[in-house]
């Protein structure tokens, strides 16, 4: 069953809206720099949403703020903002930071004095993404916050597809959001996978990832709902699948079997063969392991002619937002007829059998693949169609 995308909301360091994002892609602009949101001794560039101007949701977590702003954009894009009441709308959102009580000052004070103010706890309790959106929009329908690490955004879209396909709702708001936060910044640093310079996905000299922040939200609808509302789709989610490596908490299975299963499953779900895919937006974090495993699997399945890229060089790794943002970027690319160059890529790693596109590249065809991989061995793939 096809699921239709009728609205998009994309916020990242690449841009606070589609126009700004496309301008970054077109010019190769990379808006990364020293962290300004919190003090840190760790030297790694970060991709902050620096000019985030919508502060009307001020007394909430930054992650929920980003998510609500992207949701608002998606609803406006779908002409649905004023029509929500009475509709069966599900909310599936992915996050990592938004799900944890990780306020250092709260914990330090509790530990040292045995008591601490509840302000950060209250913010956390109001900060669950799907519940927050559910409450803010007063929607009626299923609601789930997915915490599948860096695959959460793609998985949330998959959850929404399951709901729509089984009739639990007619419309779904799906995606992911994460803010740049000190605790994961330190955590990724401890794993030795943060780069001290701008990230370079699939490059010989890649040194790791840069963290970013943002929110990606897709407004998904069943065919009946879309026809009832007389809306035209911007895209169709043709296929989805996900799998687990059952291998390691933080490292991908070197064989890539889990990712291969997810991609193959998504293609079967879409009823397509690999050669139908016009381009691939790879997870491409720029860590040694991720890029090696992912590129090998893409080569196995698609050969060396299907263009692919990672957009992490424009956004940083936005964790749970990544899968949803990148699904959105696929839609923009299908609409525009070109994909941006893989920012940061210069020289091919001899262990990697295929090279991403280094320059902005025209594409032909109607289908894109977006892949996501996450800690805990999560692998997800989405097949996206540009409607005729």
Partner 1 sequence: MKPVFIEGIGIISTRGRGLNKFEQALKEGWVEPTVSADGRKAYRVPKDALIDYNILKKVKRSDRFSRLTVFAACDAIHNSGLDIADLDKSSIGIIVATAFGPHATIFKVLEDIIDYGEKKVSPTTFAHSIHNAAASYVASALGCTGPVMTTTQFYFSFQQALLLASSWLNEGRLKKVLVGIVDECSPAMEYICEEKLSVAQNGKMSPLSCLKQPKFVPGEGSAFFLVSHDSKKKKYGAFTEIEITGDSHGWSDVDLSIIGTNAMGGSEEVYKDVLNEGIPVAAYSSIYGGFMTGNAFECVAAALMLKNQTQYASANVDGAESWNVVEKSKKRELNQIQCISHNNKRQLAFIKMMK
Contact positions vs partner 1 (CB under 8 A) = 40-42, 96, 99-102, 104, 107-108, 110-111, 114-116, 118, 121, 125, 128, 130-131, 135, 140, 142-149, 155, 159, 162-163, 165-166, 168, 182-183, 185-187, 189-192, 242-250, 257-258, 261, 374-378
Question: Which residue number, 148 or 306, has a Cβ lying nearer to partner 1?
Answer: 148
Question: Which residue number, 35 or 332, has a Cβ lying nearer to partner 1?
Answer: 35
Best CA proximity match to 368, nearest among 337, 342, 347, 341 = 337
What is the secondary structure of 12-68 as a DSSP string?
Answer: ETTBSSHHHHHHHHHHT----BS--SS--S----BB--TT----SSTTS-HHHHHHH
DSSP code at position 158: H
CB atoms closer than 10 angstroms to residue 49:
26
Q: Which residue, chain included where needed, has tokens 């790694």?
A: 44
Distance of alpha carbon 229 from alpha carbon 222, whole angstroms: 11
CB of 136 to partner 1, least distance (A): 12
Q: Which residue, chain included where needed, has tokens 């998985």?
A: 155
- The pair of three-digit structure tokens given for residue 271, joined into one six-digit string: 């009823």
Is residue 4 within a helix (H) or strand (E), and if so which, with residue range? strand 3-12
Question: Which residue number, 309 or 373, has a Cβ lying nearer to partner 1?
Answer: 373
Distance of alpha carbon 226 from alpha carbon 247, whole angstroms: 41
CB of 274 to partner 1, least distance (A): 20
CB of 94 to partner 1, least distance (A): 10
CB of 71 to partner 1, least distance (A): 17
Distance of alpha carbon 152 from alpha carbon 216, whole angstroms: 11
Question: Which residue number, 144 or 219, has a Cβ lying nearer to partner 1?
Answer: 144
Question: Which residue number, 157 or 339, has a Cβ lying nearer to partner 1?
Answer: 157
The sign of the torsion formed by the CA atoms of 336, 352, 155, 224 equals: positive
Question: Which residue number, 342 or 380, has a Cβ lying nearer to partner 1?
Answer: 380
Distance of alpha carbon 45 from the chain centroid: 19
CB of 41 to partner 1, least distance (A): 5
CB of 155 to partner 1, least distance (A): 6
CB of 240 to partner 1, least distance (A): 10
CB of 234 to partner 1, least distance (A): 24
Question: Which residue number, 8 or 324, has a Cβ lying nearer to partner 1?
Answer: 324
CB of 61 to partner 1, least distance (A): 14
Give the HSE-up count for residue 254: Cα atoms under 13 Å, Cβ half-sphere.
1
φ/ψ (deg, to 5) at 315: -120, -15
What length is written for the chain?
388
* Contact (CB, 8 A) for 344 and 286: yes
CB of 122 to partner 1, least distance (A): 8
Best CA proximity match to 208, nearest among 198, 218, 217, 216 = 198
Identify any residues that bridge with 33 across adjacent strands, giving them in sequence order: 46
Question: Which residue number, 72 or 245, has a Cβ lying nearer to partner 1?
Answer: 245
Question: Which residue number, 23 or 104, has a Cβ lying nearer to partner 1?
Answer: 104
Question: Which residue number, 141 or 356, has a Cβ lying nearer to partner 1?
Answer: 141
Q: Which residue, chain included where needed, has tokens 């496309």?
A: 22
Distance of alpha carbon 74 from alpha carbon 93, whole angstroms: 13
- The pair of three-digit structure tokens given for residue 132, joined into one six-digit string: 């927050």
């Amino acid at each position: 069953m096809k699921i239709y995308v009728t609205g998009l909301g994309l916020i990242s360091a690449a841009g606070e809206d589609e126009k700004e994002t496309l301008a970054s892609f077109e010019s190769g602009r990379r808006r990364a720099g020293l962290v300004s949101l919190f003090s840190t001794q760790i030297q790694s560039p970060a991709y902050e949403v620096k000019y985030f101007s919508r502060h009307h949701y001020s007394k909430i977590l930054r992650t929920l703020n980003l998510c609500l702003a992207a949701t608002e954009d998606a609803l406006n894009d779908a002409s649905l903002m004023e029509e929500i009441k009475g509709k069966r709308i599900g909310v599936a959102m992915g996050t990592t930071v938004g799900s944890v009580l990780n306020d250092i000052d709260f914990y330090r004070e509790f530990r040292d004095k045995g008591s601490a103010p509840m302000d950060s706890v209250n913010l956390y309790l109001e900060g669950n993404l799907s519940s927050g959106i559910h409450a803010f929009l007063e929607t009626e329908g299923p609601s789930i916050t997915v915490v599948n690490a860096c695959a959460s955004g793609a998985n949330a879209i998959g959850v929404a597809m399951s709901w729509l396909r089984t009739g639990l709702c007619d419309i779904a708001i799906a995606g992911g959001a994460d803010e740049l936060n000190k605790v994961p910044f330190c955590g990724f640093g401890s794993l030795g996978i943060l780069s001290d310079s701008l990230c370079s996905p699939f490059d010989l000299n890649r040194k790791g990832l840069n963290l970013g922040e943002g929110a990606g939200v897709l407004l998904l609808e069943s065919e009946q709902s879309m026809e009832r509302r007389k809306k035209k789709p911007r895209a169709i989610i043709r296929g989805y699948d996900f799998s687990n490596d059952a291998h390691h908490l933080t490292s991908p299975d070197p064989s890539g079997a889990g990712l291969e299963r997810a991609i193959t499953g998504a293609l079967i779900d879409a009823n397509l063969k690999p050669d139908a895919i016009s381009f691939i937006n790879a997870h491409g974090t720029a860590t040694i392991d991720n890029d090696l495993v992912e590129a090998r699997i893409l080569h196995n399945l698609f050969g060396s002619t299907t263009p692919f890229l990672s957009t992490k060089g424009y956004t940083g790794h936005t964790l749970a937002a990544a899968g949803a943002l990148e699904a959105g970027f696929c839609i923009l690319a299908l609409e525009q007829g070109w994909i941006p160059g893989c920012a940061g890529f210069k020289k091919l790693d001899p262990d990697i059998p295929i090279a991403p596109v280094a320059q902005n590249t025209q594409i032909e065809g109607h289908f894109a693949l977006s892949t996501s991989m996450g800690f805990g061995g999560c692998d997800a793939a989405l097949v996206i169609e540009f409607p005729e």
